[in-house]
Chain A
Amino acid sequence: MLRAGLSVKTLWQLMEMKTKTCLKVHGRMADLQHAMGAFRWMSSVRPAPVLTAAPVRALIDEQISIKGRFLPPNSPITLCSRMHSEDGDLWEAFAHYNTDASGSFSLTSDRSVGGSYTGCEPMGLFWGLHPPPGSREGLRLRKRNVETPYTVHVSLLKGHVSPSGGPITELAAVTTERSYMAPGVRRIDIRQNGIVGTLFLPPGPGPFPAMLDMWGMGGGLNEYRSALCASRGYASLSLAYFEHKDLPGPLRELNVGNEYFKSAFRLLQDHPQIVAERVGIVGLSFGVYLTLNLATQPGINPSCLICINGPMGRSHFLPGDKGEVKYWNYDERGYIAFRQISLPSNMAPEYKVKMEKINCPLMYIIGEDDLSSASTENADQIEEELRAAGKSHLFTRLSYPGAGHLIEPPYAPNARVTMWRIKPEKMVALFGGYDAPHAAAQEDAWRKILCFLESNLRG
């Protein structure tokens, strides 16, 4: 009930008081956005609309429900998400909605009519994040420190606006934290027996089933998928094998061989909190070759294999090596699609994995717009060889139109283009994939991966 007795004089007094305090107040309001918002609203007698997100602290693969209330009915609003990567780059997404007759909205049921995505996309503000125009090229969002969450600030703006990285006037805001690690998950640096990696253990006594986790020729050590697997109950070892300072030999060369990968697998099996007979392997990109190759080593019996967008063999050169340059395709910007090199027909015969030796369920995940790896052709080859060996029942294929190379845990932005190398010269790689279908692929694939792990490692 609006107080009818509130006189104009009182309102002016209120405004005057607020002006004086606004000018004093300062350091508590370091944020320009908030100051602008306060000035704009200082004459209103209504509180700001309410923006909520639930859960406000979520795991990376959990959906967050974003809602708003106490807005004018049937009015245009914009939701804008912003975060800074660990490198300090701004990432941003926005979407245009209209409030309903009661002045509310809900991203789990309403449709975006414009912006970074359209349609009903509850998580679009997260997977639709992009560096704003004018940012450095080829950025890829990857969490290096998995022990802290991504802090994503979601703002509610008036009207249908396009933020483009500049200042915005918020009506309301909510801060979400998205983590790769559930409470109680333990992160352990592994530097033993020559193995370089990070082990993640779920909370509790165990013993747990486990996954060996390998990425591609980008090198280094990506921990986040392993951290998330551990948060879902699977011990996981992220394994470095290329371009990591703790690995032997010169950087830019593959200095580890079969024995290295076998040791890593055995490290998992020998761990007192891991069930030796329940260890699987997951690989992405060149990690697929390593996964399949390891699975066919004598004495190595994984429970299951997950292969994402990678080759079942290799050439004499390493992927990305100049020796393969004749297979590279360039687009009009000079960006490189590596795809051709991973066609089975371009592989060195001695490096092609003998698929008839695979004895466990294998899930192959394809992004049909993968410009970096000839995923469909490799999946076909694998399927054919398994069929010929009477092992079709082991093979599962997931194929996603419009998805690119980096099919990762869900709700992370896709990198269609990525800065591959800076030295000795700048190389920008094309990974492919379009935002919406890639996001759908990640969500669906992850769900199916978890089911696959459940049946094969816990069934």
Chain B
Amino acid sequence: MDKEQRCVSLSVHPSRGLMDEKFIVLVQKVLPGFQLTIHASYHCEDGNSWEAFAHYTADASGTVNVSQDTSVGGTYCGVEAMGLLWSLRPVPGSKPGLRLRKKNVQTPMEVTISVYQGHQTEGFVDQVPLASVLVERWYMAPGVRRIPVTEDGLTATLFLPAGPGPFPGILDLWGGGGQLVEYRAALLASHGFASLVLDYLTSKITMETGKMVDNQYFETAYRVLQQHPQILGSRIAMLGLSLGTSITFRMAVYSQVIKLRCVVCIGGSHVQPIDGSVKEILTFVSLNGSKVRFSEKNEMIWRDLLLPITTDPSFKVDMGRFQCPLMLVVGEDDQSWAAYDSAMDMKEMMERAGNSHLLTILSYPKTGHLIEPPYTPHFRASIFRKVGTREKFMVLWGGQTVEHSRAQEDAWKKILVFLRENLYGGTNPGATLLSHL
């Protein structure tokens, strides 16, 4: 073995971090000017393999610091501290339309980071790297408790932060794919928010009876949060993505039971029939099915289903009645929902009604529909199975990888600040109303 290979030092700090935590990848003790490739490899729970890589040249001290140095090629370019994660893509030969999502949030994502000699683009699996380390990325901080919730007909999971509480609460809703997607709620709990993720499309009740849940289902979920002894009933928020956004708007405005401290809505719309519930929203959307378009790669584009934004008030949630701070997160290249257009319409409604001071819009160019917690790979399209059918489609979500990844990082940071300010802050610290009781 030659001297370079013996000396190469590779470290990633922290070696065990949360999914939204940045790390520092450092290569040391190579010769100055040495060309190398840093490679990331991940094997999914579903058996698929993902990889990312970048080309660097060591500086005069024989060091490459991914947070400071420029990648000159690979799955990302430029100075990108977390590029090795967000630019992960399925290895050559994989099935098309894959999506990287962790189902089991109680174990970490294990990523292997390696250094190879030279600027390489393929065949990593057949070579011996100069050095290699393993990095753990966790959705759950130690002490966070995961509690399945099945009372009152709910299909949900509650994540409680470590400690006695009381904690503010978040009701977390995902979109039209259904299932229980736990990772965002787990991560929110790791940041001090008791979070309840709710399955409202493929819940046990729906699967058994064939009937969609109604508005009361969401109010029941809210009550679970409100009545939990370790959750502060007066500090509950809702966070929705895609179809979950639609539900969130309607609950925030029309429910007599649900009283929210703040709301975050990602990639969704207020356009929906204001009577009825989930079933009515889904029916309404599919009525416009003729507006589905296809890209040149035959990917389904659902964006136009809600366009143009209607002027009929019985098909739009009355945003003028919103009473708490609202953050809208939209990708300007969202090909799945007309989120940007909806956001502009909502802004207009709220300006007319005089409550637009409650509204914050985060709008990101070249960003697609699925704005998720940061540092997981972006994919412009993926295989999607709509609930209630056995068919799978290739759906276009939109977004360009670099911009979308930056948007995820920025949006998540701002979402956490927004949630902290509204759910933790907002009172004079120490001046509690009745704490002496």
A and B interact physically: yes
Residues of B within 8 A of A275 (CB): 1, 6
A18 at the interface (CB under 8 A from B): yes
Which one of A3, A62, A175, A204 lies within 8 Å of B143 (CB-CB)? A175
| Docked CA distance A36–B229 (Å) | 11
Assess the A45–B141 pair: CB atoms within 8 A: no
Decide: A458 and B7 in contact? CB cutoff 8 A.
yes
Whether A205 pairs with B142 at a CB distance below 8 angstroms is no
- Tell me the smallest distance from the CB of B268 to a CB of chain A, in Å: 26
Q: Which of A68-76, A235-243, A384-392 contacts B (4 or more CB under 8 A)?
A: A68-76
CB-CB under 8 A from A359, the residues of chain B are none
Q: Mark A1-43, 1 if CB is under 8 A from B, else 0.
A: 1110010000100100110011001001100011011100111
CB of B178 closer than 8 Å to a CB of A: no
- With A2-B426, A55-B17 as contacts: A41 and B228 at CB distance below 8 Å: no
Report A329 CB to chain B, min CB distance, Å.
Answer: 44
Cβ–Cβ contact A203 & B132, under 8 A: yes
Shortest beta-carbon distance, B71 to chain A, in Å?
21
Query: Contact at B234–A103, with CB atoms within 8 Å?
Result: no
* Closest residue of B by beta carbon distance from A23: B229
Instruction: Tell me, in angstroms, the Cα distance from A33 to B163 when the chains sit together.
Output: 9
CB closest residue in chain B, given A22: B229
Q: Which residue of A17, A73, A102, A204 contacts B227 across the interface (Cβ within 8 Å)?
A: A17
> A403 interface residue, CB < 8 Å from B?
no
Q: Which of A46, A69, A176, A205 has the most CB of B within 10 A?
A: A46
Chain A CB within 8 A of B131 CB: yes
Interface readout for B123-158 with A: 1 if CB under 8 Å, 0 if not?
A: 000001111111110100111000100000000000
A173 lies within 8 A of chain B by Cβ:
yes
Tell me, yes or no, whether A172 is within 8 Å of chain B by CB.
Answer: yes
Which residues B423-437 have CB closer than 8 A to chain A?
423-430, 432-435, 437
Q: Output the nearest chain A residue to B437 by Cβ-Cβ distance.
A: A43
Which residues 302-322 of B have a CB within 8 angstroms of A?
none
Flag whether A57 is at the interface (Cβ < 8 A).
yes
Contacts of A43 in B (CB 8 A): 434-435, 437
Q: Which of A77-128 contact B (CB under 8 A)?
A: 102-103
Closest chain B residue, CB of each to CB of A172: B163
Known: A37-B164, A103-B429. A56 touches B234 (CB 8 A): no
**A3 contacts which of B10, B112, B234, B429 (Cβ < 8 Å)?**
B234
Check if B293 is an interface residue, CB within 8 A of chain A.
no
**How far, in angstroms, from A179 to B128 measured CA to CA in the complex?**
28
What residues of B have a CB within 8 angstroms of the CB of A278 in the complex?
Answer: 6
Q: Which of B9, B15, B164 is in CB contact (< 8 Å) with A183? A: B15
Query: A176 to B133, Cβ gap below 8 A?
Result: no
Q: Which residues on A sit within 8 Å (CB–CB) of B433? A: 2, 6, 11, 44-45
B162: Cβ under 8 A from any A Cβ: yes
- Contact of B14 with A by CB under 8 A: yes
If A55-B14, A70-B424, A183-B15 touch, does A44 touch B9 (CB 8 Å cutoff)?
no
- What class of interface size applies to chain A in its complex with B? 35 or more
Shortest Cβ gap from B417 to chain A (Å)? 13
Q: How many chain-B residues does the 8 Å CB contact rule pick out?
A: 59
Which of B168, B228, B428, B434 touches A47 (beta carbons < 8 Å)? B168
Q: How far is the CA of A173 from the CA of B164 in the complex (A)?
A: 7
What chain B residues lie within 8 Å of A179 (beta carbons)? 16
Contacts A46-B432, A57-B142, A153-B143 known; A183 to B229 CB distance under 8 Å? no
In the docked arrangement, what's the CA distance between A454 and B280, Å? 67
Contact of A21 among B18, B228, B232 (CB under 8 A): B228
Chain A, residue nearest B427 (CB)? A2
- The answer to the question of A427 belonging to the interface, with a C-beta cut-off of 8 Å to chain B, is no
Assuming the contacts A14-B234, A174-B162, asked whether A184 and B228 have C-beta atoms less than 8 A apart, the reply is: no
CB distance A58 to B14 under 8 Å?
A: yes
Is B138 within 8 A of A41, CB to CB?
A: no
Q: Are A56 and B141 in contact (CB under 8 A)?
A: yes
User: CB-nearest residue of chain B relative to A204?
Assistant: B132
Interchain CA distance A50-B428 in the complex, whole Å: 15
Does A51 make an interface contact (CB < 8 A)?
Answer: yes
Determine if A171 is an interface residue (Cβ-Cβ < 8 Å): yes
Contact A45 B232, CB 8 Å, known A72-B430, A183-B16, A204-B10: yes
Closest residue on chain B to residue A10 by CB atoms = B234
Instruction: For B29, list chain A residues within 8 Å (CB).
Output: 458
- Which of chain A's residues 141-185 have a Cβ closer than 8 Å to chain B? 151, 153, 155, 170-177, 179, 182-184
Q: A48-B163, A50-B424, A205-B128 are in contact. Are A6 and B234 (CB under 8 A)?
A: yes
Q: Considering the complex, give the chain A residue whose CB is closest to the CB of B422.
A: A1
- Determine if A287 is an interface residue (Cβ-Cβ < 8 Å): no
Task: Indicate if B246 sits at the interface (CB-CB under 8 A).
Answer: no
Residues of A close to B110: CB separation below 8 A: 183
Is A11 within 8 A of B434, CB to CB?
yes
Ordered by A's residue number, 18 sampled pairs between the chains whose C-beta atoms are within 8 Å are: A6-B433, A17-B233, A29-B230, A43-B435, A47-B166, A47-B232, A50-B192, A69-B424, A72-B429, A151-B142, A153-B143, A170-B163, A173-B143, A173-B164, A183-B136, A184-B133, A205-B129, A458-B9
Given contacts A33-B164, A57-B138, A174-B163, 12 further A-B contacts (CB under 8 A): A1-B427, A2-B433, A11-B434, A28-B147, A37-B165, A38-B165, A43-B435, A44-B434, A45-B434, A46-B435, A70-B429, A204-B132
Q: Identify the 6 closest CB pairs spanning chains A and B, nearest first.
A: A184-B134, A175-B143, A37-B164, A72-B430, A173-B163, A204-B132
